[in-house]
Amino acid sequence: MLEKIKISAFEWILIGSVIHSLGSFFFGSSRMLCYVLCGAGLAIILYNAIFRLKYRNELKGFSLVLFYIYLLWSVFIAIRPFVNSEKFTTDGYSMINIYTWLSLTTPLIMLLGFQNISLKSIFKYSLLQGIIGVVLLIINSKKIFGVDQNFSADGEDYQKYIALLGLPLQFLSASSFMLLCNKFLPSKGKLLSFLMILLAVFTSLFTARRGNAFMYGLILVFSLLIYVFASQKGSAVKNFIIVTGLVALGFIFFNSFGQSTFSLLMTRLDEDTRAGVEDQMIYSFKNTPLDWIIGRGIDGNYFCAPCGMTAMRGEIETGYLQLILKGGIVYLVMFVGFLLTSAYKGLFQTNNTMSKAMALYLIAHIIFLVPFGLPAFNFEYLIVWICVLYCQSKEFRMLSDNQVMNMIYLYK
């Protein structure tokens, strides 16, 4: 008789996150299915967060104060339309859009404490997300890889084309954390994580998603650095030669097939599709200096005229400007400051490679704020805040690699 499978409350939260993300896939084809899946995902998360989880504070001193100020500022962002009697819209309170009020809740995962979070479960569901991303790419392969790419980058056809990529790449990006933790994965996990990130890079280059290609490429570079510098002294030189060889092969492949395989990318290399939108937002703040400091709240928007748009927009694709739009420079400084101080501790005040991998993941997401990197209610940003939690924990940082390995695979 099969042993009953036990799923922890933390794993149910990860499952709820995956279900919610899948729900958005059906927004265009079946609104009912979209609402059911997103609602089910949120219900699973809320039930387990409220009734099943135990909370433990890992933060101390200044970090604890900053975290509570950050949470209070997030509450201010969420309730501002009611407090200031501003014009209310439902846009900022969507149960489906992962960049609205839901994104303000992801830091709450830190209240669990690192001992209530299973790294083994994170690896397992990271792999699941990567597999879902691969399946979604296969389902849409003809529409993505089998079409004539002779269309304008700012035209409607291209916008429909890249809309197919959003969710598959989101799932593949969720699996990127595994690659940084390569040292702590079984052999199959190492291979799969590497193949998934290569697929994400290739797809991004083929479809001319320059920001995505940069983000996945950066994770790949960071993982290779860990692979070399975390090696034992005897194998470090050997691993460096292997990495150098792989990078050289990548450049040879790109130079040989760039004009044919990545023709759309080549035509878009010098295009700047963001400047106009960014200028519109900056211009809208010109006569409201207070908005630069405290933002415009969860319903905050700006007038955007480029590309024929004549409406107010509530989002901007540049991450650091999105943080300013909603919560001002105060929100941006606290977010970046929290990630930076955590990354510093994870890199320079630790005895284990896992903390360094998490620190590099945080540094990568600070950099991601330039090409995209919008804080979101998804698996990827749950991992970001979990990395903050682990890097802030002195107890975890003082563990050796062997102790971390035991903690992962002996977790009950």
Q: What is the DSSP string of 15-68?
A: HHHHHHHHHHHTTTT-HHHHHHHHHHHHHHHHHIIIII--------HHHHHHHH
Burial class (CB in 10 A: 0-12, 13-18, 19+), 21: buried
pLDDT digits (tens, 9 = 90+) for 229-261: 776 555 666 666 766 776 677 767 666 666 667
Among 34-43, 151-160, 393-402, which stretch is predicted with the lowest mean pLDDT?
151-160
Residues 262 and 147 in one domain: yes
Look at residue 308 in the predicted model and tell me its pLDDT.
Answer: 53
Which of 18, 33, 53 terminates a domain? The answer is 53
Residues 160 and 72 in one domain: yes
Highest mean pLDDT among 204-213, 310-319, 394-403: 394-403
Which residues lie closer than 8 Å to 392 by C-beta, 6 or more apart? 58, 59, 63, 342, 345
Which of these, 162, 179, 104, lies nearest to 374 by C-alpha position? 104
Look at residue 395 in the predicted model and tell me its pLDDT.
Answer: 92
Residues 46 and 60 in one domain: no
Looking at residue 351, what DSSP letter applies?
A: S
Residues 42 and 189 in one domain: no
Residues 323 and 197 in one domain: yes
Q: pLDDT: is 309 or 78 the higher one?
A: 78
Residues 42 and 175 in one domain: no
Which of these, 281, 170, 173, lies nearest to 217 by C-alpha position? 173
pLDDT digits (tens, 9 = 90+) for 92-103: 899 999 999 999
pLDDT at 3 over 60: no
Residues 4 and 85 in one domain: no
The count of structural domains within the chain is 2
pLDDT at 412 over 50: no
How many whole angstroms separate alpha carbon 376 and alpha carbon 374?
6
Question: Whose structure tokens read 């092969």?
Answer: 249
pLDDT at 323 over 90: yes
Instruction: Give the tokens for residue 47.
Output: 């039930």
pLDDT digits (tens, 9 = 90+) for 51-60: 988 888 888 8
Highest mean pLDDT among 63-72, 163-172, 226-235: 63-72
108-130 mean pLDDT: 90
Average pLDDT score, the chain: 86
Burial class (CB in 10 A: 0-12, 13-18, 19+), 287: exposed
Enter the pTM of the model: 0.90
Residues 80 and 123 in one domain: yes
328-336 mean pLDDT: 96
290-305 mean pLDDT: 90
Residues 370 and 354 in one domain: yes
- Read off the pLDDT band of 345 (50, 70, 90): very high
Residues 262 and 329 in one domain: yes
- Read off the pLDDT band of 2 (50, 70, 90): very low
**Which residues constitute the domain of residue 348?**
54-409
One-letter amino acid of 223: S
Residues 39 and 67 in one domain: no
Look at residue 354 in the predicted model and tell me its pLDDT.
Answer: 95
Residues 279 and 298 in one domain: yes
Question: Whose structure tokens read 């999105």?
Answer: 322
What percentage of residues in the chain have a pLDDT greater than 70?
89
Burial 232-253 (b: 16+ CB within 10 A, else e): eeeeeeebeeebeeeeeeeeee
202-208 mean pLDDT: 87
pLDDT at 1 over 60: no
Instruction: Give the tokens for residue 233.
Output: 């002294």
Instruction: Give the tokens for residue 97.
Output: 């859009």
Burial class (CB in 10 A: 0-12, 13-18, 19+), 367: middle
Neighbours of 157 (CB within 10 A): 13
Looking at residue 274, what DSSP letter applies?
A: S
One-letter amino acid of 386: I
Among 32-36, 155-159, 211-215, 233-237, which stretch is predicted with the lowest mean pLDDT?
233-237
Burial class (CB in 10 A: 0-12, 13-18, 19+), 65: exposed
Instruction: Give the tokens for residue 46.
Output: 């809320």
13-37 mean pLDDT: 89
Q: Are 137 and 166 spatial neighbours (Cβ–Cβ below 8 Å)?
A: no
Strand ranges, E, within 68-193: none
Q: pLDDT: is 278 or 256 the higher one?
A: 278
Q: Are 64 and 388 spatial neighbours (Cβ–Cβ below 8 Å)?
A: no
